[in-house]
Amino acid sequence: MESKEYQVKGFLSYSTQDDEFFNRKDITRLKQNIENYMRRLSGIDIPVFQYAENMKYGQILSDEIKRQMQESSFFIPIITPNYFMSQPCREEFEYYMESLKSTECRRIFPIYFADIDDNVAALDNEAINLYNRYRETQLYYCDLRKLQIDETNSDYIKTIESFSKNICKFLHPLLQIIKHVNEEPSILICGATGVGKTTTVNTLFGKKLGHVEGGRRGTTQLHQHTLMSEGGNVIIYDVPGLGDSKEIDKQTKKIYSEIIKLGVGGIIVVIVPPRPAAFGTLETVKLLISKNVDIRKIVFGYNKLSYLRYDDDDGENKKIADIDSLFGPVDEKEKKAIDDAKDMFFQDLNAYFPDKGFKKEQIIEYDSISGWNFYKMFETIAKVIPPNAAIKLKKAVDKAHNELVEKQEKKRKSVEEDITITDEKKEQKIIKINTEIQKLNEERETFTNLIYDTVIEFIGSVIDLSVKKIKNWINKWF
């Protein structure tokens, strides 16, 4: 599957009853002429949707037609008397006109194919009302009433070129934004061997992308995953861990070097207790620094926290309970043990790499099995990847979010169908699951707002547009 970039597109609306005056191939040629000139003028492909010959075209708007119009930034009706007498054309025009009320980022660009004013008397009242509404939109139009669709005719070419230029002028702000956001973000998952890197990949991105071995050693070679989602892809590099043997580490370091040469947006170094600053972790950080990686791009994911131990009120040394929910540890002593462990790792990190400027905020506690702190990890990554790639990360996270919610809903259904537990216990479990889903949705909203503000700030720094205008253009991506 190819990477899907953010794209501007238009919608061509015409009456099939006019096929007796101009055949379908003429309409297709006209559409292609407009597309070619827009590409020449903007440097970007701007497709215009046209009904497929095998597409159902009847009395009501199909979901596909509605979707195409919703995604279109401009609407090209081919104006003839038949257009306003056609029920499907009326519905399309009304549907698109309605969308203009909610955004200033859409426009109608009509093409005249036949005189209307001389034929108004032949239209019914509904058609006349629609025609009058149409006249109000005539800011930019293309007049082909006295011209044939003929690429050898200079007047036709000048008319189409001028029409295409007007569309591109209107689309210019959006085209500039798209040039800056169509960058594919990449994330490198690395660390010592056996710390849960591949499990982290699978949980963070909502599906089993990598294979997790049952023994100590997991990933033994580079795995590149393309997390595909509507609106863009995210590249995930899952690399072997360091700290195994000199020979294997030598090969692994070569893999790191090749990936870093390609450029990565963010880096997650997975660490685990009881010695997060173990040889494999330190070698990983040392290698990244030696390759001149911006240390601000590094996020340390503190995984497998149930390995930590602490003394309870009675002086008994206990291990942290397994994290089996999206709320994580609830015991205050367990929370303090985790925070103390982060402090110790932070001190070790700065002792081994003084003057590098690592910050404690770069260390994120999480659980690669349950998905606890899923969004805290992504919020930290979002702050270090290129801002122009943030929307695509957001789209990929949306997909992972939906899969995580679906997992919770399946768990809830299983509880509801469980006949081995009491109604009281069942209700308690369902309330807990519902609360977890609510927590996920709230965290998603916070994350979305973070991405939204990041993208607006970035675009505002490279394009001379008001914040309001930028928001209007990018709202459909959120």
Residue ranges of alpha helices (H) inside 107-153 are 125-135
**CA 460, 463, 464, 470 torsion: positive or negative?**
negative
- Bridge pairing between strands 309-311 and 317-319: antiparallel
Q: Are the folds of 10-180 and 186-477 the same?
A: yes
Quick one: what percent of the chain has pLDDT higher than 90? 31
Retrieve residue 279's tokens.
Answer: 């040889």
204 within 8 A of 377, measured Cβ to Cβ: yes
- Bridge pairing between strands 298-302 and 111-112: unpaired
**Residue 32 confidence (pLDDT) above 90:** yes
What pLDDT shows up at residue 216?
41
186 within 8 A of 264, measured Cβ to Cβ: yes
Cα distances from 379 to residues 224, 362, 447, in angstroms, run: 22, 11, 6
What pLDDT shows up at residue 130?
72
Neighbouring CB atoms inside 10 A of 188's CB total 23
Kindly state the average pLDDT of the residues 103-119.
Answer: 77
What pLDDT shows up at residue 214?
42
Helix (H) or strand (E) holding 2: none
**Residue 178 confidence (pLDDT) above 80:** no
243 within 8 A of 249, measured Cβ to Cβ: yes
13 within 8 A of 79, measured Cβ to Cβ: no
CATH code of the region 10-180:
3.40.50.10140
What residue type is 22 in one-letter code? F
pLDDT digits (tens, 9 = 90+) for 293-325: 999 999 999 999 988 988 888 888 888 888 877
What pLDDT shows up at residue 3?
41
What pLDDT shows up at residue 146?
87
How many Cα atoms are found within 13 Å in the side-chain-facing hemisphere of 406? 8
Kindly state the average pLDDT of the residues 134-138.
Answer: 64
Confidence category of residue 217, pLDDT binned at 50, 70, 90? very low
Retrieve residue 163's tokens.
Answer: 């029409």
Question: Which of 86-100, 125-139, 175-189, 369-383 has the least mean pLDDT?
Answer: 125-139
How many Cα atoms are found within 13 Å in the side-chain-facing hemisphere of 198? 21
**Residue 174 confidence (pLDDT) above 90:** no
Beta bridge partners of 48: 10
Buried b / exposed e across 107-140, counting CB within 10 Å, b at 16+? bbbbbbbbebeebeeebeeebeebbeebeebeeb
What pLDDT shows up at residue 398?
84
- Bridge pairing between strands 232-238 and 223-229: antiparallel
What pLDDT shows up at residue 428?
93
Confidence category of residue 1, pLDDT binned at 50, 70, 90? very low
Q: Where are the beta strands (DSSP E) in 201-313?
A: 223-229, 232-238, 266-271, 298-302, 309-311
CA angle at 25 for the pair 21 and 28, rounded to the nearest 5°: 110
Kindly state the average pLDDT of the residues 273-284.
Answer: 89
Cα distances from 253 to residues 240, 246, 277, 285, 436, in angstroms, run: 9, 10, 18, 12, 40
Confidence category of residue 6, pLDDT binned at 50, 70, 90? low
Kindly state the average pLDDT of the residues 400-407.
Answer: 85
What pLDDT shows up at residue 331?
87
- Distance of alpha carbon 263 from alpha carbon 291, whole angstroms: 11
pLDDT digits (tens, 9 = 90+) for 336-367: 999 999 999 999 999 999 989 999 999 999 99
Confidence category of residue 145, pLDDT binned at 50, 70, 90? confident
114 within 8 A of 80, measured Cβ to Cβ: yes
**Residue 120 confidence (pLDDT) above 90:** no
What residue type is 47 in one-letter code? P
What is the rounded average pLDDT for all residues in the chain? 82
What pLDDT shows up at residue 383?
85
Q: Which residues contact 78 (CB under 8 A, 6 or more apart)?
A: 12, 13, 14, 15, 18, 27, 110, 111, 113
**Residue 55 confidence (pLDDT) above 70:** no
**Residue 227 confidence (pLDDT) above 70:** no
Looking at residue 254, the DSSP 8-state letter turns out to be: H
**CA 135, 33, 69, 466 torsion: positive or negative?**
negative
Retrieve residue 319's tokens.
Answer: 């291990």
What pLDDT shows up at residue 363?
96
What residue type is 319 in one-letter code? K
Q: What is the domain partition of the chain in residue ranges?
A: 10-180, 186-477
CATH code of the region 186-477:
3.40.50.300
- Distance of alpha carbon 82 from alpha carbon 16, whole angstroms: 9
Residue ranges of alpha helices (H) inside 43-136 are 63-70, 81-85, 87-100, 125-135
Dihedral pair phi/psi, residue 268, rounded to 5°: -110, 115
Question: Which of 59-63, 234-238, 255-259, 400-404 has the least mean pLDDT?
Answer: 59-63
**Residue 45 confidence (pLDDT) above 60:** yes
Retrieve residue 424's tokens.
Answer: 């009281």
What pLDDT shows up at residue 19?
66
pLDDT digits (tens, 9 = 90+) for 411-455: 999 999 999 999 999 999 999 999 999 999 999 999 999 988 888
The winner for highest mean pLDDT among 61-65, 73-77, 320-324, 452-456 is 73-77
Strand order in the sheet with 298-302: 223-229, 232-238, 186-191, 266-271, 298-302, 363-365
What pLDDT shows up at residue 270?
92
